[in-house]
Amino acid sequence: MGVIEKVAKSRLRQTTDVVETPLVPRVDQLPVDRIIQQDCIEAMRALPAACVDMIFADPPYNLQLGGDLNRPDGSHVDAVTDEWDKFDSLNAYDAFTRLWLAEARRILKPNGTIWVIGSYHNIFKVGSAIQDLGFWILNDIIWRKANPMPNFKGTRFTNAHETLIWASMGEKAKYTFNYRSMKTLNDELQMRSDWEFPICGGQERLKKNGTKVHPTQKPEALLYRVMLACTKPGDIVLDPFFGTGTTGAVAKRLRRHWIGIEREDSYVEAAQERIDAALPLDESAVTTMQAPRQAPRVAFGVLLENGYLSPGAVLSDAKRRWRAVVGVDGNLRSDCGNAGSIHKLGATLQGAPSCNGWTFWHHETAEGLKPIDSLRQTYLLATQP
């Protein structure tokens, strides 16, 4: 048994011992809204217990790639070949996983939750460790990639999804789930556990000298939905594998505090520049699920997730009789205090049984008021293949 495995077992025993609930430190006592350049396990050990509300972790996948990968035309595929993704053995990866998860559990508040994303290479091992450490799995979310990389060798199915595990601190632990926000974001339908987003690309993809800064940069739309689902403004979100700072950029936009841990110089530099610039979500494609021969369905929340409208935007009807402010979850609140989805609030204000919110609500442009349906049509044109 290697040293790291012995240490992991020791930390696991410490974590599963019954301890008194520690006092929750104040925000001003924590290194919030900054990047800690350090090994993730060491950095988390330096944090007090029960200090963060949510953890989003995108750990190394341990892809175990053998040799270079080329397209049929002979061009090279920019895959994950960095040293941080390499481990001597599966046992070494298991030991590393248990170490950082043990620290994650220690610093999560009793009502906090953790999200971990991975591929088939590692997510089942991560899930096993999560359960062994006492977390309670709430959902596994399938992120379907709208534009996955093909299987160039033609030896397997195209790997078109990744899995996110969402877990609380225990079977009976309380936790935040903004059910109404998720339903409103999805046009009054329950949000399902299969989400479709494209892989990160376009202007959102960070590059330096024409080369990707990070090989597995996650789309901001994905983090927007995750964070909106289970945190509140002012909550503290920690990312122990910060990379190029997607978690920090979205947290800043949604008025959440964040703590990023990253040891690689190039990633830290890119992440800091990105967050300092406070970039909005890129208008990248987010293709919705649709049945054959059906018109594409777009939820109002998709426009928010992708930056077509911003939280705080003011909408009005065509005659400017009513005004409403857009919330971060797509919920509208009128001047008279009523609230609801674009359809529900429109119907309430008119005293009507129903309302098509897409044509009722308008946004201000240089050419005057335009229905928000124009934003939906612009989005559809941008996302059609």
Residue 123 near residue 163 (C-beta atoms within 8 A): yes
Q: Strand 136-145 to strand 194-197: parallel, antiparallel, or no bridges (unpaired)?
A: parallel
The pLDDT tens digits of the residues spanning 99-118 come to 999 999 999 999 999 999 99
Q: Strand 207-208 to strand 211-212: parallel, antiparallel, or no bridges (unpaired)?
A: antiparallel
Predicted pLDDT of residue 385: 55
Asked whether residue 120 carries a pLDDT value surpassing 50, the answer given is yes
Predicted pLDDT of residue 205: 74
- Order the strands of the 332-334 sheet from edge to edge: 339-340, 332-334, 323-326, 314-316, 362-365, 368-371
pLDDT confidence tier of residue 10, bands split at 50, 70 and 90: low
Query: Tokens 């709208």 — which residue?
Result: 146
pLDDT confidence tier of residue 22, bands split at 50, 70 and 90: low
Predicted pLDDT of residue 54: 98
Predicted pLDDT of residue 203: 74
Which is more confident, 287 or 169?
169
Cβ neighbours of 176 (radius 10 Å)? 15
What does 87-116 look like in DSSP terms, one character per residue?
A: -S-HHHHHHHHHHHHHHHHHHEEEEEEEEE
Asked whether residue 60 carries a pLDDT value surpassing 70, the answer given is yes
What does 16-84 look like in DSSP terms, one character per residue?
A: HS--PPPPPPPGGGS-TTEEE-S-HHHHHHTSPSS-EEEEEE---------S--B-TTSPBP-----GG
Asked whether residue 11 carries a pLDDT value surpassing 70, the answer given is no
Predicted pLDDT of residue 50: 96
Which is more confident, 2 or 211?
211
Predicted pLDDT of residue 286: 24
The pLDDT tens digits of the residues spanning 262-278 come to 998 988 998 898 898 85
Q: Look up the CATH superfamily of 27-65+78-285.
A: Vaccinia Virus protein VP39 (3.40.50.150)
Asked whether residue 25 carries a pLDDT value surpassing 50, the answer given is yes
Q: What is the mean pLDDT of residues 40-60?
A: 96
- In the chain, what are the domain boundaries? 27-65+78-285, 300-383
Predicted pLDDT of residue 281: 37
Predicted pLDDT of residue 1: 52
**Residue 193: strand, helix, or coil:** coil
Mean residue pLDDT across the chain: 83
The pLDDT tens digits of the residues spanning 71-100 come to 455 544 454 455 645 677 889 899 999 999
Predicted pLDDT of residue 371: 92
Asked whether residue 162 carries a pLDDT value surpassing 90, the answer given is yes
Predicted pLDDT of residue 64: 57
The pLDDT tens digits of the residues spanning 295-337 come to 467 889 999 998 999 999 999 999 999 999 999 989 999 998 9
Cα–Cα dist 327/314, whole Å: 10
Q: What is the mean pLDDT of residues 30-53?
A: 96
The sign of the torsion formed by the CA atoms of 348, 352, 354, 360 equals negative
pLDDT confidence tier of residue 38, bands split at 50, 70 and 90: very high
Predicted pLDDT of residue 165: 98
Predicted pLDDT of residue 185: 84
- % residues pLDDT > 70 (the chain): 81
**Mean pLDDT lowest for which of 37-41, 225-229, 282-286?**
282-286
pLDDT confidence tier of residue 139, bands split at 50, 70 and 90: very high
Predicted pLDDT of residue 63: 64
